[in-house]
Homo-oligomer: A and B are copies of this chain.
Amino acid sequence: PDRAAAKAAEERNGQLTKPPGALGRLEELAIWYAGWRGDARPRIDAPQVIVFAGNHGVTAQGVSAFPPEVTEQMVLNFRRGGAAINQLAKAAGAKMDVHALDLDKPTADFTQGPAMGEDEFLAALRAGWQAVDPKADLLVVGEMGIGNTTPAAAIACALFGGAAADWTGRGTGVDDAGLANKTRVVAEGVAMHGGNGDGLEILRRLGGREIAAMAGAIAAARILRIPVILDGFICSAAAACLAHSAAGSLDHAIAGHQSAESAHGAVLARLGMQPLLALGLRLGEGSGAALAINILKSAVACHSGMATFAEAGVSDA
Protein backbone atom coordinates (compact mmCIF):
# COMPACT_ATOMS: atom_id res chain seq x y z
CA PRO A 1 0.00 0.00 0.00
CA ASP A 2 0.90 3.65 -0.44
CA ARG A 3 1.73 4.86 3.07
CA ALA A 4 1.65 8.54 2.10
CA ALA A 5 -1.85 8.21 0.67
CA ALA A 6 -3.01 6.30 3.75
CA LYS A 7 -1.55 8.95 6.02
CA ALA A 8 -3.16 11.76 4.03
CA ALA A 9 -6.47 9.88 4.19
CA GLU A 10 -6.11 9.54 7.95
CA GLU A 11 -5.56 13.29 8.27
CA ARG A 12 -8.58 14.03 6.10
CA ASN A 13 -10.66 11.64 8.21
CA GLY A 14 -9.86 13.68 11.32
CA GLN A 15 -11.21 16.87 9.73
CA LEU A 16 -14.59 15.56 8.55
CA THR A 17 -17.83 16.89 10.08
CA LYS A 18 -18.44 14.16 12.67
CA PRO A 19 -17.20 13.42 16.17
CA PRO A 20 -13.86 11.55 16.11
CA GLY A 21 -14.43 7.85 15.44
CA ALA A 22 -18.20 8.24 15.04
CA LEU A 23 -18.26 6.40 11.70
CA GLY A 24 -16.73 3.36 13.41
CA ARG A 25 -15.34 0.77 11.08
CA LEU A 26 -16.22 2.83 8.00
CA GLU A 27 -13.31 5.12 8.85
CA GLU A 28 -10.64 2.41 8.89
CA LEU A 29 -12.12 0.87 5.73
CA ALA A 30 -11.82 4.14 3.83
CA ILE A 31 -8.24 4.72 4.99
CA TRP A 32 -7.24 1.15 4.08
CA TYR A 33 -8.84 1.52 0.66
CA ALA A 34 -7.11 4.89 0.10
CA GLY A 35 -3.76 3.32 0.90
CA TRP A 36 -4.20 0.48 -1.59
CA ARG A 37 -5.41 2.82 -4.32
CA GLY A 38 -2.69 5.39 -3.65
CA ASP A 39 -5.30 8.15 -3.45
CA ALA A 40 -6.23 10.00 -0.25
CA ARG A 41 -9.69 10.79 -1.60
CA PRO A 42 -10.60 7.77 -3.70
CA ARG A 43 -13.80 6.66 -5.42
CA ILE A 44 -15.21 3.22 -6.14
CA ASP A 45 -16.65 3.24 -9.63
CA ALA A 46 -15.76 -0.11 -11.17
CA PRO A 47 -16.16 -3.14 -8.91
CA GLN A 48 -15.75 -6.50 -10.59
CA VAL A 49 -17.36 -9.76 -9.47
CA ILE A 50 -15.91 -12.92 -11.00
CA VAL A 51 -17.55 -16.29 -10.53
CA PHE A 52 -15.35 -19.31 -11.25
CA ALA A 53 -16.89 -22.75 -11.71
CA GLY A 54 -15.28 -26.17 -11.48
CA ASN A 55 -16.23 -29.79 -11.02
CA HIS A 56 -14.85 -32.16 -8.42
CA GLY A 57 -13.96 -35.83 -8.70
CA VAL A 58 -14.53 -36.18 -5.00
CA THR A 59 -18.29 -35.96 -5.60
CA ALA A 60 -18.00 -39.66 -6.47
CA GLN A 61 -17.75 -40.15 -2.70
CA GLY A 62 -21.28 -38.77 -2.25
CA VAL A 63 -20.32 -35.57 -0.44
CA SER A 64 -23.03 -33.22 -1.78
CA ALA A 65 -26.82 -32.97 -1.56
CA PHE A 66 -26.91 -31.85 -5.23
CA PRO A 67 -25.81 -33.79 -8.36
CA PRO A 68 -22.65 -32.53 -10.18
CA GLU A 69 -24.56 -31.47 -13.31
CA VAL A 70 -25.92 -28.57 -11.25
CA THR A 71 -22.54 -26.82 -11.63
CA GLU A 72 -23.09 -26.41 -15.36
CA GLN A 73 -26.79 -25.62 -14.96
CA MET A 74 -25.92 -22.85 -12.54
CA VAL A 75 -23.28 -21.47 -14.93
CA LEU A 76 -26.06 -21.09 -17.48
CA ASN A 77 -28.19 -19.45 -14.81
CA PHE A 78 -25.34 -16.98 -14.08
CA ARG A 79 -25.03 -16.19 -17.79
CA ARG A 80 -28.77 -15.59 -18.10
CA GLY A 81 -28.87 -13.37 -15.01
CA GLY A 82 -31.06 -15.63 -12.86
CA ALA A 83 -28.86 -16.38 -9.84
CA ALA A 84 -28.52 -14.57 -6.54
CA ILE A 85 -25.07 -13.25 -7.46
CA ASN A 86 -26.49 -11.56 -10.57
CA GLN A 87 -28.92 -9.57 -8.41
CA LEU A 88 -26.30 -8.82 -5.77
CA ALA A 89 -23.70 -7.67 -8.31
CA LYS A 90 -26.28 -5.40 -9.95
CA ALA A 91 -27.35 -3.97 -6.58
CA ALA A 92 -23.68 -3.20 -5.89
CA GLY A 93 -23.10 -1.56 -9.27
CA ALA A 94 -20.55 -4.25 -10.15
CA LYS A 95 -19.89 -5.89 -13.47
CA MET A 96 -19.95 -9.66 -13.32
CA ASP A 97 -17.89 -12.20 -15.26
CA VAL A 98 -18.28 -15.96 -15.26
CA HIS A 99 -15.47 -18.42 -15.99
CA ALA A 100 -16.30 -22.11 -16.28
CA LEU A 101 -13.12 -24.16 -15.95
CA ASP A 102 -13.17 -27.49 -17.82
CA LEU A 103 -16.49 -28.55 -16.35
CA ASP A 104 -16.48 -31.71 -18.45
CA LYS A 105 -13.18 -32.72 -16.86
CA PRO A 106 -13.62 -32.90 -13.07
CA THR A 107 -10.55 -32.86 -10.86
CA ALA A 108 -9.33 -36.22 -9.59
CA ASP A 109 -10.86 -37.62 -6.40
CA PHE A 110 -8.34 -36.46 -3.80
CA THR A 111 -8.83 -39.59 -1.71
CA GLN A 112 -7.10 -41.42 -4.60
CA GLY A 113 -4.38 -38.93 -5.58
CA PRO A 114 -3.73 -35.19 -6.09
CA ALA A 115 -6.81 -33.31 -7.32
CA MET A 116 -4.78 -31.60 -10.06
CA GLY A 117 -1.58 -32.26 -11.94
CA GLU A 118 0.92 -29.40 -11.99
CA ASP A 119 -0.06 -28.24 -15.48
CA GLU A 120 -3.75 -28.31 -14.63
CA PHE A 121 -3.12 -26.39 -11.43
CA LEU A 122 -1.06 -23.70 -13.15
CA ALA A 123 -3.68 -23.34 -15.87
CA ALA A 124 -6.36 -22.76 -13.24
CA LEU A 125 -4.23 -20.23 -11.33
CA ARG A 126 -3.51 -18.44 -14.61
CA ALA A 127 -7.19 -18.41 -15.59
CA GLY A 128 -7.91 -16.63 -12.33
CA TRP A 129 -5.02 -14.22 -12.70
CA GLN A 130 -6.06 -13.27 -16.22
CA ALA A 131 -9.73 -12.86 -15.34
CA VAL A 132 -9.05 -9.76 -13.25
CA ASP A 133 -9.81 -6.53 -15.09
CA PRO A 134 -6.83 -4.22 -14.52
CA LYS A 135 -9.27 -1.28 -14.63
CA ALA A 136 -11.39 -2.65 -11.77
CA ASP A 137 -11.14 -0.73 -8.50
CA LEU A 138 -12.56 -3.48 -6.27
CA LEU A 139 -12.67 -7.25 -6.69
CA VAL A 140 -14.97 -9.99 -5.44
CA VAL A 141 -14.30 -13.59 -6.41
CA GLY A 142 -16.97 -16.22 -6.01
CA GLU A 143 -17.40 -19.83 -6.98
CA MET A 144 -19.78 -22.54 -8.07
CA GLY A 145 -18.75 -26.19 -7.88
CA ILE A 146 -20.96 -28.96 -6.56
CA GLY A 147 -19.03 -30.65 -3.77
CA ASN A 148 -16.55 -27.84 -3.19
CA THR A 149 -17.05 -27.38 0.54
CA THR A 150 -15.28 -30.76 0.81
CA PRO A 151 -11.97 -29.60 -0.77
CA ALA A 152 -12.28 -26.32 1.16
CA ALA A 153 -12.59 -28.23 4.44
CA ALA A 154 -9.65 -30.46 3.50
CA ILE A 155 -7.52 -27.40 2.67
CA ALA A 156 -8.39 -25.72 5.98
CA CYS A 157 -7.62 -28.89 7.91
CA ALA A 158 -4.30 -29.39 6.10
CA LEU A 159 -3.25 -25.75 6.62
CA PHE A 160 -4.46 -25.19 10.17
CA GLY A 161 -4.42 -28.65 11.76
CA GLY A 162 -7.01 -30.15 14.08
CA ALA A 163 -9.49 -32.90 13.25
CA ALA A 164 -11.41 -33.24 9.98
CA ALA A 165 -14.64 -32.81 11.92
CA ASP A 166 -13.53 -29.34 13.05
CA TRP A 167 -13.54 -28.11 9.46
CA THR A 168 -16.32 -30.12 7.84
CA GLY A 169 -19.83 -28.66 7.66
CA ARG A 170 -23.13 -29.34 5.93
CA GLY A 171 -22.44 -27.35 2.75
CA THR A 172 -25.64 -26.99 0.76
CA GLY A 173 -27.36 -29.22 3.31
CA VAL A 174 -26.23 -32.83 3.79
CA ASP A 175 -27.88 -34.82 6.60
CA ASP A 176 -26.09 -36.39 9.58
CA ALA A 177 -25.03 -39.48 7.64
CA GLY A 178 -23.85 -37.25 4.79
CA LEU A 179 -21.84 -35.14 7.22
CA ALA A 180 -20.17 -38.23 8.70
CA ASN A 181 -19.28 -39.45 5.20
CA LYS A 182 -17.95 -36.04 4.21
CA THR A 183 -15.82 -35.89 7.35
CA ARG A 184 -14.35 -39.30 6.49
CA VAL A 185 -13.51 -38.07 2.98
CA VAL A 186 -11.83 -34.92 4.34
CA ALA A 187 -9.84 -37.01 6.84
CA GLU A 188 -8.67 -39.38 4.10
CA GLY A 189 -7.60 -36.51 1.86
CA VAL A 190 -5.67 -34.78 4.62
CA ALA A 191 -4.04 -38.06 5.64
CA MET A 192 -2.86 -38.60 2.06
CA HIS A 193 -1.80 -35.04 1.17
CA GLY A 194 -1.34 -33.00 4.37
CA GLY A 195 2.19 -31.94 5.23
CA ASN A 196 3.24 -31.86 1.57
CA GLY A 197 4.69 -28.45 0.85
CA ASP A 198 3.24 -24.99 1.33
CA GLY A 199 -0.23 -23.57 0.79
CA LEU A 200 -0.01 -23.70 -3.00
CA GLU A 201 0.92 -27.38 -3.03
CA ILE A 202 -1.96 -28.10 -0.61
CA LEU A 203 -4.22 -26.18 -3.00
CA ARG A 204 -3.05 -28.33 -5.95
CA ARG A 205 -3.52 -31.61 -4.09
CA LEU A 206 -6.78 -30.93 -2.22
CA GLY A 207 -8.36 -28.02 -4.07
CA GLY A 208 -10.21 -27.60 -7.33
CA ARG A 209 -9.92 -25.51 -10.47
CA GLU A 210 -12.31 -22.80 -9.30
CA ILE A 211 -10.55 -22.63 -5.93
CA ALA A 212 -7.15 -22.28 -7.60
CA ALA A 213 -8.56 -19.64 -9.95
CA MET A 214 -9.82 -17.63 -6.97
CA ALA A 215 -6.33 -17.74 -5.47
CA GLY A 216 -4.86 -16.62 -8.79
CA ALA A 217 -7.27 -13.72 -9.03
CA ILE A 218 -6.65 -12.60 -5.44
CA ALA A 219 -2.89 -12.66 -6.06
CA ALA A 220 -3.24 -10.71 -9.32
CA ALA A 221 -5.36 -8.08 -7.57
CA ARG A 222 -2.55 -7.45 -5.08
CA ILE A 223 -0.10 -6.71 -7.89
CA LEU A 224 -2.68 -4.46 -9.56
CA ARG A 225 -3.46 -2.76 -6.21
CA ILE A 226 -7.10 -3.70 -6.47
CA PRO A 227 -8.59 -4.25 -3.01
CA VAL A 228 -10.47 -7.53 -2.56
CA ILE A 229 -13.50 -8.46 -0.48
CA LEU A 230 -13.32 -12.14 0.42
CA ASP A 231 -16.46 -14.25 0.29
CA GLY A 232 -17.28 -17.30 2.38
CA PHE A 233 -15.73 -20.62 3.32
CA ILE A 234 -14.41 -21.69 -0.08
CA CYS A 235 -13.04 -18.29 -1.06
CA SER A 236 -11.41 -17.99 2.35
CA ALA A 237 -9.81 -21.43 1.96
CA ALA A 238 -8.36 -20.30 -1.37
CA ALA A 239 -7.09 -17.10 0.24
CA ALA A 240 -5.62 -19.05 3.17
CA CYS A 241 -3.42 -21.00 0.73
CA LEU A 242 -1.89 -17.70 -0.41
CA ALA A 243 -1.41 -16.48 3.17
CA HIS A 244 0.28 -19.77 4.05
CA SER A 245 2.67 -19.43 1.12
CA ALA A 246 3.61 -15.75 1.60
CA ALA A 247 2.98 -13.59 4.68
CA GLY A 248 1.13 -10.37 3.90
CA SER A 249 -0.36 -11.68 0.69
CA LEU A 250 -3.86 -10.82 1.94
CA ASP A 251 -3.11 -7.30 3.16
CA HIS A 252 -5.20 -5.98 0.28
CA ALA A 253 -8.19 -8.12 1.31
CA ILE A 254 -10.98 -7.86 3.88
CA ALA A 255 -13.67 -10.37 4.84
CA GLY A 256 -17.12 -9.45 3.55
CA HIS A 257 -19.41 -11.86 5.36
CA GLN A 258 -19.13 -14.70 7.84
CA SER A 259 -20.88 -17.67 6.33
CA ALA A 260 -23.26 -19.97 8.15
CA GLU A 261 -20.99 -22.82 6.98
CA SER A 262 -19.78 -23.88 10.39
CA ALA A 263 -15.99 -23.64 10.02
CA HIS A 264 -15.84 -20.29 8.22
CA GLY A 265 -15.53 -18.30 11.43
CA ALA A 266 -12.51 -20.37 12.43
CA VAL A 267 -10.83 -19.81 9.04
CA LEU A 268 -11.37 -16.03 9.34
CA ALA A 269 -10.00 -16.08 12.88
CA ARG A 270 -6.85 -17.86 11.63
CA LEU A 271 -6.53 -15.20 8.94
CA GLY A 272 -6.98 -12.47 11.58
CA MET A 273 -10.01 -11.05 9.78
CA GLN A 274 -13.26 -9.64 11.15
CA PRO A 275 -16.12 -9.94 8.66
CA LEU A 276 -18.18 -6.86 7.83
CA LEU A 277 -21.43 -8.82 7.81
CA ALA A 278 -22.88 -11.91 9.45
CA LEU A 279 -26.31 -12.47 7.96
CA GLY A 280 -26.41 -16.26 7.79
CA LEU A 281 -25.75 -16.69 4.06
CA ARG A 282 -24.14 -19.97 2.96
CA LEU A 283 -24.54 -19.85 -0.80
CA GLY A 284 -21.13 -19.15 -2.25
CA GLU A 285 -21.13 -17.51 -5.72
CA GLY A 286 -19.44 -14.50 -4.12
CA SER A 287 -22.78 -13.56 -2.58
CA GLY A 288 -21.62 -12.51 0.89
CA ALA A 289 -18.76 -10.44 -0.48
CA ALA A 290 -20.96 -8.82 -3.10
CA LEU A 291 -23.41 -7.85 -0.36
CA ALA A 292 -20.54 -6.08 1.40
CA ILE A 293 -19.50 -4.01 -1.65
CA ASN A 294 -22.04 -1.31 -0.83
CA ILE A 295 -20.68 -1.08 2.73
CA LEU A 296 -17.20 -0.34 1.41
CA LYS A 297 -18.61 2.02 -1.22
CA SER A 298 -20.49 3.87 1.51
CA ALA A 299 -17.35 4.13 3.63
CA VAL A 300 -15.40 5.60 0.74
CA ALA A 301 -18.27 7.91 -0.23
CA CYS A 302 -18.37 9.34 3.31
CA HIS A 303 -14.61 9.75 3.39
CA SER A 304 -14.28 11.42 0.02
CA GLY A 305 -17.61 13.28 -0.12
CA MET A 306 -18.08 14.77 3.34
CA ALA A 307 -17.25 18.37 4.15
CA THR A 308 -14.52 19.24 6.67
CA PHE A 309 -15.28 21.30 9.80
CA ALA A 310 -13.60 24.27 8.13
CA GLU A 311 -15.51 23.89 4.84
CA ALA A 312 -18.87 23.57 6.60
CA GLY A 313 -18.28 26.21 9.27
CA VAL A 314 -19.12 23.69 12.00
CA SER A 315 -17.60 24.17 15.49
CA ASP A 316 -15.19 21.38 16.42
CA ALA A 317 -15.46 19.77 19.87
Contacts and interface: CB of A to CB of B under 8 A. Distances in A.
Contacts of A306: 82-84, 86-87
Nearest to A303: B87
Contact of A314 (B70, B276, B279, B314): B70
Interface centre among A21, A87, A173, A291 (most CB of B within 10 A): A87
B173 A19 contact: yes
Interface string A19-55: 1111111100000000000000000000000000000
B20 A173 contact: yes
A17 B80 CA distance: 12
B87 A22 contact: no
Contacts of A317: 65-66, 172-173
A287 interface: yes
A13 to B, nearest CB: 12
A80 B17 CA distance: 12
B315 A76 contact: no
Nearest to A84: B302
Contact of A23 (B26, B92, B287, B305): B287
B302 A88 contact: yes
Interface in A67-106: 67, 69-70, 73-74, 76-77, 80-84, 86-88, 90-92
A12 B313 CA distance: 52
A311 B66 CA distance: 18
Interface string A266-282: 00000000001101111
Given A69-B315, A294-B298, 17 more contacts: A16-B84, A23-B84, A24-B260, A24-B280, A66-B315, A73-B315, A74-B312, A80-B307, A82-B306, A84-B306, A87-B302, A88-B302, A91-B294, A91-B298, A276-B279, A291-B298, A294-B294
Interface of A: 16-26, 65-67, 69-70, 73-74, 76-77, 80-84, 86-88, 90-92, 172-173, 260, 276-277, 279-283, 287, 291, 294-295, 297-298, 301-302, 305-307, 311-315, 317
